Amino acid sequence: MHIRYTLADIKKTFPTIFYDRGLSIYEQHKVQHVGYDDNNNLLLGEVQGSRALPYHQRISLQMRNGKLIIDGACDCPIGRNCKHVIAALIHTLHTPPANEQDLQPITLKSIIPAQKSTYTAQNWLAQIDEALAEVDAPEYPPHEAYRLIYVLAPAMYGSGLTVRLMRSRLKKDGGFGKAMRYTQFFEVALGRGGSVASELDRKLCARIFQSNPLSPSDPKITGAHSGELLHDIISSSRACWQDSESPTLSLGETRECELNWIADEEGNQQLSVPLDANEIVLPITPPWWLNTHTMQCGKLATGIPDHLASILVNSPAIPSEALTEVTHTLKQRLPNITLPEPQSLTTAHLDQVPPNPILILQEIAVNLNDHWKRRDDTSVHLLACAQIAFEYHGIRVNDYSTNASISRRKDNTRYTTVRDLQQEREFSKLIMTHTDLTQVDLLFPALALTKEQATTLSLAQPSDWLDFMIEDVPRLRELGWSVEMTDEFPYSVAEVGDEFSADIEESSGNDWFSLDLGIDVDGERISLLPILAQTFQQYSPDQIRELTNPNCDPKRKLVCMLPDKRMLALPLQRLQGILSVLVELFDGKHSLTVDGKLELSALHATRLAELEANARPRWLGGERLLALGQKLKDFTGIVPVPIPAGLNATLRGYQQEGLNWLQFLREYNLGGILADDMGLGKTLQTLAHVLVEKQAGRADRPSLVIAPTSLMFNWQAEAAKFTPDLKVLLLHGQERKQHFESVAQYDIVLTTYPLLARDKEFLTAQPFHLLILDEAHAIKNPKALSTQIVHQIQARHRLALTGTPMENHLGELWSLFHFLLPGLLGSADTFKRQFRNPIEKHEDKQRSVALAQRVKPFMLRRTKQQVVTELPPKTDIIRSCELIGAQRDLYESVRAVMQDKIRREIDSKGFKKSQIVILDALLKLRQVCCDPRLLKLPTAHRVQQSAKLEMLTSLLPDMIEEGRRVLLFSQFTSMLDLIEPELNSLKIPFVRLTGDTQDRATPVQQFQNGDVPLFLISLKAGGVGLNLTTADTVIHYDPWWNPAVEDQATGRAHRIGQLNPVFAYKLTTIGTVEEKIIKMQDRKRALAQGILGDEGVGVSAFSPDELISLFEPLN
């Protein structure tokens, strides 16, 4: 051989991975024969591969410009410079002939065995088998769900196209899912890419590698046959341009075209071909066109040899000054190719033109330099940056340009001027002194930047751009800078108009309305709600609270993103009037309709009034709702309601207002809480409301009242007293179900919370006019069964009565309004996030005020201090309860025994001599009424029920919650002993005074100083001689038979020095001796005095029949 080579030459020519595989084949002794063709400097080899017959190699050795060129062809699937070629080259080095004379020229004929025809036939048949196997074999295994995607892009350096392999799941519609980088490029080329790589992929990757063998880490399509390779890659229907998520490339027509000189804006000219919009020339051989919009591409037929055409159509822009010389040189070097003449331009010079500074905000694509990235990493990063430019009378130049003079073409004239470099430097200094912009190559040394990219400016953090756009850009404009933004710049800030608009659309039923808030952005109306909703999702609850803080920085802006990626900087101080309302109305993505509107129930009309007061938007529609919102906000325009005929009571001023309010809620189909203090007449106002509804003809159904069992008889008594025209049905006791069919005949139906579960089927099936919950805090637990049942009861209007809408936490208030007005306070989770946590955990006063404003229109609460001028000095209130169960049985047993005993005593001794027996009998019955445990009988001690004690423990917490100062009197000190444990379990602090108390001053002082809210007093020990003017409530647990004694006890609070009205409660049991004695007090006051012998009056004041009536059985 005339040309010799070394192992180093082989390593230099081929990639390491191919060399290692070729060496492995050689070491496995798979090289069968190597000869040479001395005339053509060829090595001809046979190497055993994976098939039965060996592969054949034809290796050329050439010297060009003193450099050894090795190029080998092989009939294996790789086809060129494969591992078989390398193995043959290594074999030749390690098995040289003994001397040069022994080398015999080898021809192709000499290496074919004697049975030439047999060998050739076998080889030919083997090739047919391989071809058939390729056709018959499926391209992918049935289970393989992924495909390889070829992402093409212009090469960063030199000509050609880079290729990036991606792996993507194949969709049912033939499209591709999200692609991931696939780094095993060379494994695919070697046929080891796994099932995701088809035989076509193996061949394409092998050809891509062969196209650029000297740069194995940079897969690229280049060279003489790059056009053919591109054609085959696109034919796979798995090629994309620059991004794996863009549509796949498709083949278009071959275009015949001629080269032309095309002049740019500066007057420079470039040799290229005419292209349509969105079209570029691909730098391959031959050149191709690509439409980046339709993703079609095809060949360009220029009539010029392919290798020259691909260079000519990608010429640089030639300056006008050099154009004559360049065209002359082209004619000399390409004498056989006819090129067009450049355009003829005239030149005009502009003198002493001042520069105008321009800052161009843009986004550039950059890569990491080789030191910072993996070998297979070709990912592109996008970087926001700023480019300084200057404009001279319409002629623009970037600051990195070194040209002292610049030009601009207009039609056929080229205008030129000389730059004022000193003035340009002064402008550039302003950027450095007034902003944090820094040169990109200093900020990010890990980036591989072009010369032009290195001169751009950027900021250290992406978040810094928002401050730059909001604060620095206006300042630069004041300094004379023009600031421009490309479409790709990601931090564009839109201009905001001065006016908000509010568009309201009401539903046909007037129960719902949709709200849309708009703002002018760059002269276009933009819906603000979706933008704010998206912004709120990115903020924590603490950050949202900070947004609505009126003490925030007045210059602060709320930055939002528009759908087109522009940034919207809204002045926070101006926006707070809207935010304070909206932050409560919607909860992120779940609140808006498809068209970006907020759909609300009419009960949110008050929020419209707040929007009007805070932001004063331009309203479009919604006049009725705006009027309703104003009424709900400040109660203006609520029409007074005439007192209904048949109401046996004179309503005080605040009670008339309560009736007006109840009727107002009914008119607008709203629910509410009447939350007046205890004793201010909630029951009376409600009864008047029901009576108005009946007389107006609207109450064509009964109204249902649900209350604690202890209040059933109070409702009956109050209705009989104040509204006798209303027919009342009590559903209580074992026989209640027999009245179910006649419910519709009544105006008011009374039932209790404990009966809800038992009567659920009937109550949820029967429609009612009003559903009234007395002591409505009974449904404070939304998960309780009774709460869930009342939600299912059908009624036109719902009303809650309670003096304590909230006892422990705000969740109880939510439960009430969730029953009355579902949606007013949002879901439980929303309410917890927007109100409960901020108020209870962070003591957020803003949220507390906002919640109070939200519920204010639907909760009417008057304390006794607020209506003190309308109250009498003392109000007597009787609260009754019913004996049930074992307590009732015990009462009846004692009553029957004592009634018989008294009859026999009177018969034998006469009425006057029977006083001791009578007093003992009355005492025992009173003790059973108070608490069976007071009775000194074993059977009584086994009774665990005490209706009156249960009523007391239900009253006291509400009174204490309202701030009442309570005196609790009992004739029995042992009863006080039984009350004390109940108070301890309720955690109500108290002091006590009985006949055994040695230090009377201390408990009195503690109570008067406000240390405790409750004073337990035995009637005899504290009925006289005490001055307790801080008390405003007196409770007589066991009414004293002598009214004068009771009045003396009540007088401990109701006396000179008392500034507040006093409420005196008598706790009695229905149908017992207690109730009968109290009724007799009004009719015949001497009766009680006669029994006790007070003031010289004896039993002679009674008739025996009147006394015996006290012992009649319970009804």
Which of 306, 333, 360 is at the close of a domain? Answer: 333
Give the amino acid at 435. Answer: T
Q: For 619-632, how does the pLDDT look when each residue is reduced to its tens digit (9 = 90+)?
A: 666 666 666 666 66
Domain boundary among 333, 368, 385: 333
pLDDT reported for residue 107: 38
- 512 and 617 together in one domain: yes
Specify the pLDDT at position 755: 95
CATH number, domain at 1093?
A: 3.40.50.300
Is the domain of 121 the same as that of 178?
no
For the CA atoms of 812, 818, 820, 825, what is the dihedral angle to 10 degrees?
Answer: 90
527 and 476 assigned to the same domain:
no
* Helix pair 915-930, 947-961: axis angle to 10 deg: 60
Q: Which DSSP state fits 735?
A: T
3-state class (DSSP) for residue 1068: strand
Q: Which domain holds residue 593?
A: 493-634
pLDDT beneath 50, residues of the chain: 97-119, 133-137, 588-590, 1056, 1084-1101
Q: Are residues 62 and 123 in the same domain?
A: yes
Same domain, 478 and 617: no
Residues 645 and 689 sit within 8 Å (Cβ to Cβ) = no
Residues 389 and 305 in one domain: no
Model-level pTM? 0.51
Report yes or no on 846 lying in a domain: no
Per-residue model confidence (pLDDT) at position 1091: 38
Is 697 part of any domain?
yes
| 859 is a domain residue | yes
Looking at the domain assignment, is residue 84 inside a domain? Answer: yes
pLDDT at position 97 is 40
- Out of 302, 333, 364, pick the residue that ends a domain: 333
In order of 261, 271, 514, 671, 877, the CA distances from 327 in angstroms are 11, 10, 70, 90, 115
Question: One-letter amino acid identity for 895?
Answer: R
Q: Could you tell me the CA-to-CA distances from 371 to 157, 184, 218, 368, 440 in Å, in that order?
A: 17, 21, 15, 8, 18
Q: Is residue 938 part of a domain?
A: no
Domain total of the chain: 6
Question: Mean pLDDT in the chain?
Answer: 81
Task: Looking at the structure, tell me whether residues 618 and 678 fall in a common domain.
Answer: no
User: What pLDDT sits at residue 118?
Assistant: 45
Q: Tens of pLDDT along 789-824?
A: 999 999 999 999 998 788 778 999 999 999 998 878
Q: Residue 111: its pLDDT value, please?
A: 36
> What backbone torsions phi and psi does residue 968 show, to the nearest 5 degrees?
-115, 115
Scanning 739-883, the segments in alpha helix (DSSP H) are 760-765, 785-792, 810-820, 828-831, 837-842, 845-855
- Domain match, 31 and 166 both: no
Q: Which pLDDT belongs to residue 1104?
A: 64
- Residues 498, 551, single domain; the answer is yes
Q: Are residues 599 and 730 in the same domain?
A: no
Residues 53 and 66 in one domain: yes
Token pair, residue 13, equals 């020519």
**CA distances from residue 992 to 133, 808, 977, 1030 in whole angstroms, order as listed:** 106, 27, 10, 16
Give yes or no: residues 113 and 168 share one domain: no
Is position 26 within any domain?
yes
Residue 572 to residue 579: CA distance in whole angstroms: 9
Closest CA to 570 of 579, 560, 583: 560
Say what the pLDDT of residue 231 is: 93
Q: Is residue 721 part of a domain?
A: yes
Is residue 769 assigned to a domain? yes
